Structure 1
Amino acid sequence: MKPFVGLCAQLLQRLAVVIFVLAAVVLYGVTLMAAFGAVPWLEIQASVGGVLYENAGQIAQIGVTGLAVLLCFYLPSNARIMRLETSHRRFETGMHDVARAYALAHAADREGLFRMSSEFDAVRERLNYLRDHPDLQSLEPALLDVAAQMSHISRELAEVYSDERVDRARAFLTQRQQEVDAFNARLDHAKQVCRYLKHWAHEVDLEESVAVSQLNRLRDDLRDILPELGHEDVVDAGQRVLDLSKKAAE
């Protein structure tokens, strides 16, 4: 709807200009003929402060005619503004078409379709490609020529960021990402194993501490009980056994 509304606005603007010019010419002609007595003046009953002005119609007719004639001098500037708007819209349309044609030529250049090295042959090759493209059949040859020249200027950029190099870079980055993911997975597994071993070592230390504590309590009990029973040699032997057991436990 936007192009249709713009077209209707342009037509209405031109129609308004034509009607205004015709009205100004008619008013000027009628006023001039009335001045020479060929036609009567406009008659209007008007009074100000109780005073009746019989020539109010003549004054109004002359004023409106003068205003219309003065406004006609404004029409050339309005016409220039309309021409500027039209040229601006045409420029925007042309640049949009050039950008679309350049995008297609640049994509083909990135795919490696153009092989000519010299500037003339390279531009002609790109121009032939754009002329034969089904999406650019309605464009003017001048626009296609500009797009072909722009594509030739950016050929180094197309070579650097060609589809082959971009795909190779993507494959390399994908491989690197997979390696990083695998390393992170191994690192998480190592952290879990480390936490498990640390917890296990802590439990073993607790069990050893409990065993040593029970062994010391048993030794103290034996030291207190055996002498009363007359078995000091057993206490000495038990002391040696406990010492050996302690050393073995350590």
Structure 2
Amino acid sequence: MLQSLRSAFAVVQYLMQWLAMLAIGSATLLLIGYTISCALGLTPWLSLSLQFGDLVLPNAGTAVQLALTALALSLCFFLPTNARVMALETSHRRFHIGMKDVARAYQVAHHADREGLFQLSSEFDSIRERIAFLREHPDLSELEPSVLEVASQMSHLSRELAQVYSDRNVARARDFLVQRQQEIEDFNIRLNHAKGVATEMRQWLTRVEMDEAVAESQLTRLCDELAEILPELGATAPAAEETEIRRPVIVADADEEVAPPDDRIVALLARRAAE
């Protein structure tokens, strides 16, 4: 209940302060405008007769009008200061340590720590150095000192992580990865070339084996033809496994004389075998 009343009073006070500032600004503008019009002769001056003891001031209205205008104008110079004080009071009343502000300040401190800007090792000096850096940072000028202190403490605790993942180490790791990637690309190029050579040799081997198979089939067919022809000529057919053509031998009876084959037949058979 008491907290609700305090909150309501704070709201009413805040509204009345802004209304007072608006009233002072409006009255000052009206007085300045009316006084300028009076000086130009467009409107009459304030008419007021004052008496102080025996002293009578018949034209005191003009002086009172000018004094009120000067007073209102001087009060306007305090309005910006009062507005800043009200904004500061409002920020203090509404202030809570928000994780977004702490995270933003910590990100700035951690990035500076990764760049190697903080060199002090002791905890007190390290945190003080970080707080001073965050206070001078242009993007964190509106944050409260407690937020900067929390962010500095968090940055001090993660200083080892910042050293491990410093910008220099990260750049070195990236260069190493780029080099490894280039080596992999070169290896893939050589591997593709080797695959092309292996494919070419495999195709070449296949053609050679096909040529050998054709040659063997032709040799087998030739032996078969010779096996059919030589008995008719009185010669013995060579075996299929032999690659050379033997001279044919004519088998005769024991009483008959063995006659050698004709030289023309032998030459013909040798030429066919060579083909």
Asked if residue 166 in structure 1 is aligned to residue 165 in structure 2, the reply is: no
Residues 205-244 of structure 1 mapped to structure 2, 5 A cutoff:
205-222=209-226, 224-225=228-229, 233=263
Residues 1-250 of structure 1 mapped to structure 2, 5 A cutoff:
90-91=95-96, 94-222=98-226, 224-225=228-229, 233=263
CA distance in 1, matches of 2:266, 2:120: 105
Deviation per CA, 1:67-90, whole angstroms, max 9, x where unpaired? Answer: xxxxxxxxxxxxxxxxxxxx9x85
Higher fraction of helix: 1
Matched letter for residue 121 of structure 2: S
Matched letter for residue 157 of structure 2: I
Mapped contact 1:114–1:125 kept (Cα < 8 A): yes
CA distance in 2, matches of 1:108, 1:147: 13
Q: What runs of 5+ residues in structure 2 fail to find an aligned partner?
A: 1-6, 13-91, 235-260
TM-score between both structures, scaled by the size of structure 2: 0.49
Shift, 1:155, TM fit:
0.8
Mapped contact 1:105–1:126 kept (Cα < 8 A): yes
SS of corresponding position for 1:106: helix
Query: In the superposition, relative to structure 1, how do residues 212 and 234 fare at CA in structure 2: closer, same or farther (>3 Å)?
Result: farther
Mapped contact 1:110–1:159 kept (Cα < 8 A): yes
Query: In the superposition, relative to structure 1, how do residues 235 and 165 fare at CA in structure 2: closer, same or farther (>3 Å)?
Result: farther
Matched letter for residue 110 of structure 1: R
Query: In the superposition, relative to structure 1, how do residues 232 and 212 fare at CA in structure 2: closer, same or farther (>3 Å)?
Result: farther
Q: What runs of 5+ residues in structure 1 fail to find an aligned partner?
A: 1-12, 19-86
Shift, 1:225, TM fit:
4.5
Matched letter for residue 98 of structure 1: V
Query: In the superposition, relative to structure 1, how do residues 224 and 119 fare at CA in structure 2: closer, same or farther (>3 Å)?
Result: same
Shift, 1:207, TM fit:
1.5
Query: In the superposition, relative to structure 1, how do residues 233 and 222 fare at CA in structure 2: closer, same or farther (>3 Å)?
Result: farther
Deviation per CA, 1:138-161, whole angstroms, max 9, x where unpaired? Answer: 111121122112111111111111
Deviation per CA, 1:86-127, whole angstroms, max 9, x where unpaired? Answer: x9x854x53221111011000110011111222222222211
Over aligned residue pairs, what C-alpha RMSD do you find?
Answer: 3.5
Task: Decide which moves more: 227-236 or 102-111.
Answer: 227-236
Deviation per CA, 1:24-77, whole angstroms, max 9, x where unpaired? Answer: xxxxxxxxxxxxxxxxxxxxxxxxxxxxxxxxxxxxxxxxxxxxxxxxxxxxxx
Matched letter for residue 209 of structure 2: D
CA distance in 2, matches of 1:90, 1:241: 114
SS of corresponding position for 1:156: helix
Query: In the superposition, relative to structure 1, how do residues 202 and 238 fare at CA in structure 2: closer, same or farther (>3 Å)?
Result: farther
Shift, 1:163, TM fit:
0.9
Mapped contact 1:127–1:145 kept (Cα < 8 A): yes
With a CA cutoff of 8 Å and minimum separation of 6, indicate the structure with the bigger relative contact order.
Answer: 1
CA distance in 1, matches of 2:169, 2:262: 91
